[in-house]
Chain A
Amino acid sequence: MVKQVITGNMATAMGTRLCRPAVISAYPITPQTTIVEYIADFVADGTLKTQYVKVESEHSAMSCCISASNTGVRTFTATSAHGLLLMHEMLEWAAGARLPIVLVNVNRANGPPWSVWADHHDTIMQRDTGWMSIFCENNQEILDSMIMAFKVAEDPDIMLPMMLSEDAFYLSHTSEPVDVPDQALVDKFLPEYKPEHFLDPENPKGFGSLVMPPQYMEFRYKMAESMDLAREKIRKVNDEFYEVFGRKYGNGLIEEYRCDDAEVVLVGAGTNASTVREVVDRMRDEGHKVGLARLRCFRPFPYEEIRDLAKRVKAIGVFERTYTFGYQGPFTAEIKGALYGTGVDIPIKNYLLGIGGRDIRTKHVRAVFEDIMKVAEQGLDQETKWFGLLDGNTPEEEL
């Protein structure tokens, strides 16, 4: 293995090259743009043999991947924010057609007002499309997750697309040391994609035709079944990856950090977990029983892990980079839903931070920990806290 200091976007491009997709189709959108450029460089210098289709929109990028995947080859695309939103219709199509396409989304806020900075709203909006969805914390995880993503998605029992998310700029444009695995090891771990069904003139079939109400439900049920199976598959591939490459990410679905005897934990996803981890260490040194549970996989949702965690702690604070207008942050609602009826009735508080790329500093995380420790003792004061709002009444530690 060779350690290189590369950005998240370069890790994505190098991960793409290692996975050898036969067709890549993409459209430039900030801050994903350099992924498109690096891939073009690889094709230009002959280190990546692929059909690189540069389309006129993200909608067409996903449509092109869908049709290529349906023709029986491995495909990849990358996008960000509005690009992902424009793809939405075709995300549904990719999942419904049971195509193991892998997509990297550089998490970015939606306009208006215009923003290009980190926010999870774009990914969260795709929750119900039937895509598996994983949030990465660092550039190494992006590269590693790409290899695992194709392996999970292409499993004959799964056959669902997977979306990997990386926070804009915090990862996309920030350089970190990354172990780039040997191609031969990756080839062995991730063999060539050979689907059972594809567009083949020697065996003509129709794909995606009209079905009547007596049958449609079964197609959706099969998708649901595979999505449920994916929990075990993601855990298993995470273990297998560790055997070969020596790295793993929690149990694949969730990564606990110093949670064993924790009294309060923060649950978050993406890069904010790194800041929380640092604060956990500092506060542990001071004798506070705090921990971090990083939600790596959002779809399928790791409800069993959440139940297990909630049994062990007094309160959970949920750290979110987006809000579901009308009711709470998306992770909070999921976590509460997972606990209903289990007999675990601990306070769960929703903290909204870092929306639209606002900086999350260690002092902010500390303030949140102090607040959730208070909640653990005194009970819930409010369900949702917009942290550090510039409304003139904000305490110093939140600014």
Chain B
Amino acid sequence: MGKLTIPEQELMRPGHMGCLGCGGTLAMRLALKAAGPDTIISIPACCWAVMPGVWPNTCMGIPMLYTAFEVTGASISGIRAALDAKGKKDTNVIGWAGDGGTFDIGLQALSGMVERGTNALYICYDNEAYMNTGIQRSSSTPEGAWTTTTPVGTENYWEQGRKKDMISIMVAHGIPYAATANVAYPEDFVRKVQKALSIDGPTYLQIFAPCPTGWKSQPAKSIKLAKEAITSLAYPMYEVENGVYKINRKPKEQTPLKDYMLKQGRFRHLTEEFIEEQQKMLEANWKRLLKLEEITNEE
């Protein structure tokens, strides 16, 4: 029998306010299991600023600081500085933000936190749009997606920009550890959280977190969709430790991007040609990633 690698202790109690099939709630449950009770978490405006519950209730079993949208990086620097002043070096500090609060409005503070070398873990749960505010596009939204600020209309007004490559931005900072993860692979995510927390320095995790509400997908299919994000190359799962790349899952067989996209209402308007173009772009990214893995692992 295999060894159970996910801790049993539940630090996220029942009663959260997330939607059915929410990847973000699963991600939090796993992250807290991985981090354990000696942890302080800072959460800016995002779904998770609402999901713990309304005052005076909370589903969170660890101390939690709600913060403003753009401040997560600065906030965890402040918490760490205070803990250092108190001599509490072992307490984990986690910043937990959505893609809007990370890729867009929080990017400056995140950059500052990493550059300063704050000993804290920043986790972005990436659902590829501003879901809490009503599904507006962010710079994490993939090209072609419908959102409420990139509606389809008669003018093909869907998302035009490419998804921002945050891991490369983090790697460019010389961050000791950055990785993507996926809610469909809990053991991998738990390992990455524990790995990141074991490092004395800034670390960044970005977990793919399906949002049935914003993606117009079936809640029951979130995990299946998350697996397909990997096999279709839409969201590769990899980690970068001190500049060395390691791809954690290489699909034995690539699945068509079309199958992944057309399970989601947000892509349903796209033509076959458009999806083919996207697939080519993702394949090029994948090749580049394989090359990066090869180059950075050379002696």
Contact = CB atoms under 8 A, between A and B. Distances in A.
A199 B38 contact: no
A229 interface: no
Contacts of B64: 199, 204-207, 209
Most chain-A Cβ atoms within 10 A of its Cβ — which of B63, B82, B83, B108?
B82
A308 interface: no
B66 A54 contact: no
Contacts of A69: 78, 82
Interface string B67-90: 110110111111101111110000
Contacts of A25: 74, 77-78, 81
Interface stretch (B54-62, B122-130, B215-223): B54-62
Given A63-B109, A201-B38, A201-B40, A208 B66 contact: yes
A60 B109 contact: yes
A24 B235 CA distance: 40
Interface in B19-63: 37-40, 42, 49-50, 52-55, 58, 60-63
B111 interface: yes
Contacts of A50: 85
A89 to B, nearest CB: 6
A206 B60 contact: yes
A67 B55 contact: no
Contacts of A22: 81-82, 85-86
A66 B78 contact: yes
A151 B48 CA distance: 36
Interface string A254-269: 0000000000000000
B61 A63 contact: no
Interface string A165-203: 000000000000000000000000000000000011101
Contact of A53 (B61, B71, B116): B116
Given A55-B74, A56-B109, A201-B63, A93 B82 contact: no
Contacts of B53: 209
Contact of A66 (B70, B75, B84, B109): B75
A22 B80 CA distance: 12
A65 interface: yes
Interface string A67-104: 11111110100000000000001100100000000000
Contacts of B49: 209-210
Nearest to B111: A56
A51 interface: yes
Most chain-B Cβ atoms within 10 A of its Cβ — which of A57, A64, A66, A210?
A64
Interface in B210-248: none
Given A56-B111, A211-B55, A215-B55, A90 B38 contact: no
B226 to A, nearest CB: 28
A338 B158 CA distance: 56
A73 B85 contact: yes
Contact of B82 (A72, A90, A212): A72
A71 B74 contact: no
Sorting the interface of chain B by its residue count into under 10, 10 to 19, 20 to 34 or 35 or more gives 35 or more
Most chain-A Cβ atoms within 10 A of its Cβ — which of B42, B58, B70, B78?
B78
Contact of A72 (B60, B74, B86): B86
B52 A90 contact: no
Interface residues of A, number: 42
A23 interface: yes
A277 interface: no
Interface in B159-207: none
B109 A67 contact: no
A59 interface: yes
Contact of A63 (B52, B78, B86, B116): B78
B279 interface: no
B109 A73 contact: no
Nearest to B49: A210
A143 B203 CA distance: 40
B68 A63 contact: yes
A55 to B, nearest CB: 6
B281 interface: no
Contact of A64 (B50, B52, B70, B78): B78
A207 B86 contact: no
A46 to B, nearest CB: 16
Contacts of A70: 65, 78-79
Nearest to A212: B54
Contact of B55 (A65, A201, A203, A209): A209
Most chain-A Cβ atoms within 10 A of its Cβ — which of B37, B39, B85, B116?
B85
27 contacts: A23-B78, A25-B78, A53-B78, A54-B116, A60-B77, A60-B109, A60-B112, A61-B74, A63-B74, A63-B78, A66-B67, A67-B78, A67-B79, A71-B78, A71-B83, A199-B63, A201-B63, A203-B63, A204-B37, A206-B60, A207-B65, A207-B66, A209-B58, A209-B66, A210-B49, A210-B66, A211-B54
Interface of B: 37-40, 42, 49-50, 52-55, 58, 60-68, 70-71, 73-79, 81-86, 91, 108-109, 111-112, 115-116
- In the A-B complex, the 3 residue pairs with the closest CB atoms: A67-B78, A71-B82, A60-B74
Given A201-B62, A206-B66, 6 more contacts: A23-B81, A51-B84, A57-B108, A67-B67, A67-B78, A71-B82
